[in-house]
């Protein structure tokens, strides 16, 4: 899809937070508040080692993660590299092109104008953009409205009439409008959900028209600045170049990755142009939780934010829905409100759960990383499945056993020809997990102590007889007290540390 090229980048970072050693590049970040609870900490430990293993096998360059509970960023960490060539580590302050997250800021701008009485959501687009001259293919279709644009129910084409996702030559504002005359609607309005970047580019034009300032100026001054998102931008400033992660393509069969240049979204910025960091997006998430929980008026009225975050358009069997700008993912345990983003070299995702008052931010700098809910190796899903329930349980007063001091030296990862096994203290028990599966907690094995450095694999009721269930797990410890080999039943696994192995 993208052109092949190799372009070098700058990569000097100011590193904030405590330095924590880890096998995948460097891991930079910290835990605060309830993340320090041992029950939460054990699940964060599992998340970290699982992610490090996945990054090593898949060759993902870098990942930055943030977890917000109410008003506190309780966990923030960078994994791997913002720049592979320079070995520049990612941090919570690393900047990523967050692509379609931009639509959230565009939608907020539109709702601000609505609440000020300067437009109505059911106004026809043509009432605000006289040059909205796209051909309407269905003569009985209702006029395309601002609401249709916001909910992706306009029937407009996905893009603005050229191959900018292939040649990176994004249209400017004038070209977006000019090309409308040569385009036509794909569906009648209000017939089906159909995602459209063009729709959000037009919403940005409406904001510019109603405010007599550029879309970028409006968002940066009226939304980002009041929230303290000082490193975030619509028009990327040169002074932030040293904080920007290099964007990498998918890992190809020969092991290489395309290295992307900085690509300006230009007239498509309202749909895909914003740059931000985990720390800045944590401020954006905190604002949403604050407004939802405490009411009032901050950028928006609390009622307006709730209006934006409830479903206005359901997709298929209510596994997904669309609010005004926000997407909603419906799961068995909770509804996730937020947005993802995909841009040349970057995949990003931010979701909040109003049920637990928790937000999760995952930014990556490769096109095969998985920050989206519902994907097989979804980082976001593992956080909501493992860490978020542990936070809830800890907040409700769960008392967690702590690891016995003599077991601490046994914690680590071990490799056999079958899989990578990790030993850790999880949910109050010594445990063994397979790191090479999408969800290792589904098959976790509990280890019962037998004698010094010897355990037995506990058989869970209803489990089958495969593997070494019921057999001994023993740790061969050297003179330096470090584990030299792990014996599971009659077979062995050797200690392993993970390293980033990516573009050749």
Residues 278 and 374 placed together within one structural domain of the fold: yes
User: Is 222 inside a domain boundary?
Assistant: no
pLDDT computed for residue 465 by the predictor: 57
Residues 99 and 62 placed together within one structural domain of the fold: yes
Per residue in 92-117, pLDDT (tens digit) is 999 999 999 999 999 999 999 999 99
User: Is 219 inside a domain boundary?
Assistant: no
Mean pLDDT by 10 residues, the chain (504 residues): 30 27 47 96 97 97 97 96 96 98 98 98 98 95 97 98 97 98 97 97 98 98 98 97 97 96 98 98 98 96 98 87 96 96 98 96 98 97 98 94 94 97 97 97 94 89 66 95 95 87 41
What total of structural domains would you count in the chain? 3
User: Is 5 inside a domain boundary?
Assistant: no
Give pTM, 2 decimals.
0.92
Residues 255 and 362 placed together within one structural domain of the fold: yes
Output the CA–CA distances (angstroms, integers) from residue 73 to 30, 32, 102, 402, in the order listed.
Answer: 10, 7, 22, 24
In angstroms, the CA 28 to CA 17 distance is: 7
Classify residue 256 by burial, with Cβ atoms within 10 Å: 0-12, 13-18, 19+: middle
Residues 366 and 485 placed together within one structural domain of the fold: no
**What CATH number does the domain containing 71 carry?**
3.40.710.10
User: Is 365 inside a domain boundary?
Assistant: yes
Residues 147 and 116 placed together within one structural domain of the fold: yes
pLDDT computed for residue 290 by the predictor: 97
User: Is 281 inside a domain boundary?
Assistant: yes
- Picking from 333, 367, 395, the residue at the C-terminal end of a domain is 395
Residues 95 and 146 placed together within one structural domain of the fold: no
Residues 279 and 419 placed together within one structural domain of the fold: no
pLDDT computed for residue 319 by the predictor: 87
Per residue in 475-499, pLDDT (tens digit) is 999 999 999 999 999 999 999 998 6
User: Is 369 inside a domain boundary?
Assistant: yes
**What CATH number does the domain containing 472 carry?**
2.40.128.50
User: Is 14 inside a domain boundary?
Assistant: no
Residues 280 and 381 placed together within one structural domain of the fold: yes
Query: In degrees rounded to 5, what are phi and psi of residue 458?
Result: -75, 135
**Residue 118 — left, alpha, or beta (φ > 0 → left; ψ -120 to 50 → alpha)?**
alpha
User: Is 220 inside a domain boundary?
Assistant: no
Residues 468 and 367 placed together within one structural domain of the fold: no
Domain holding 119, by residue range, is 104-211
Residues 412 and 447 placed together within one structural domain of the fold: yes
Residues 376 and 323 placed together within one structural domain of the fold: yes
The b/e string for 37-61 (b: 16+ C-beta within 10 A; e otherwise) is: bbbbbbbbbbbbbbbbbbbbebbbb
Residues 376 and 420 placed together within one structural domain of the fold: no
């Amino acid at each position: 899809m993208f052109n092949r090229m190799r372009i070098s980048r700058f990569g000097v970072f100011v590193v904030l937070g405590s330095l924590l050693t880890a096998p995948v590049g460097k891991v930079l970040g910290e835990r605060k508040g309830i993340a320090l609870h041992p029950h939460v900490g054990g699940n964060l430990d599992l998340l970290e080692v699982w992610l490090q293993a996945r990054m090593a096998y898949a060759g993902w360059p870098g990942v930055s993660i943030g977890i917000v509970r109410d008003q506190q960023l309780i966990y923030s960490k960078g994994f791997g590299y913002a720049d592979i060539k320079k070995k520049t580590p990612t941090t919570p302050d690393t900047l990523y092109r967050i692509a379609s997250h931009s639509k959230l800021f565009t939608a907020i701008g539109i709702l601000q104008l609505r609440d000020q009485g300067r437009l109505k959501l059911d106004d026809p687009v043509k009432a605000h953009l006289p040059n909205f001259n796209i051909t309407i293919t269905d003569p009985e279709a209702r006029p395309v409205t601002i609401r249709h644009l916001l909910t992706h129910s306009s029937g407009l084409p996905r893009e603005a009439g050229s191959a900018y996702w292939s040649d990176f030559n994004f249209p400017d504002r004038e070209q977006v409008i000019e090309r409308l005359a040569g385009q036509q609607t794909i569906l009648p309005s209000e017939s089906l959900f159909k995602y459209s970047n063009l729709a959000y580019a037009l919403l940005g034009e409406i904001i510019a028209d109603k405010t007599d300032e550029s879309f970028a100026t409006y968002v940066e001054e009226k939304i980002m600045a009041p929230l303290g998102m000082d490193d975030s931008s619509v028009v990327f400033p040169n002074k932030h170049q040293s904080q920007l992660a290099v964007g990498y393509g998918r890992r190809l069969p020969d092991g290489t990755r395309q290295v992307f240049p900085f690509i300006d979204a230009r007239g498509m910025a309202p749909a895909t142009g914003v740059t931000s960091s985990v720390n800045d997006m944590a401020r954006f998430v905190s604002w949403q939780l604050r407004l939802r929980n405490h009411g009032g008026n901050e950028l928006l009225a609390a009622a307006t934010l709730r209006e934006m975050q409830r479903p206005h358009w359901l997709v298929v069997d209510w596994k997904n829905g669309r609010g005004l700008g926000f997407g909603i993912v419906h799961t068995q345990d909770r509804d996730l409100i937020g947005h993802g983003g995909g841009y040349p070299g970057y995949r990003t995702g931010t979701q909040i759960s109003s049920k637990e008052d928790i937000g999760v931010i995952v930014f990556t700098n490769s096109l095969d990383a998985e920050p989206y809910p519902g994907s097989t190796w979804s980082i976001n899903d593992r956080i909501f499945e493992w860490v978020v329930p542990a936070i809830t349980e800890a907040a409700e007063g769960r008392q967690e056993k702590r690891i016995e001091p003599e077991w601490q030296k046994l914690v680590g990862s071990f490799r056999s020809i079958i899989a990578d096994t990790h030993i850790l203290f999880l949910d109050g028990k010594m445990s063994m997990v397979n790191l090479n599966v999408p969800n290792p907690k589904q098959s976790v094995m509990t280890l019962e102590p037998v004698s010094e450095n010897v355990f037995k694999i506990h058989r869970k009721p209803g489990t089958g007889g495969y593997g070494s269930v019921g057999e001994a797990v023993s740790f061969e410890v050297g003179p330096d007290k470090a584990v030299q080999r792990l014996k599971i039943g009659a077979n062995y696994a050797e200690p392993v540390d993970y390293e980033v192995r990516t573009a050749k």
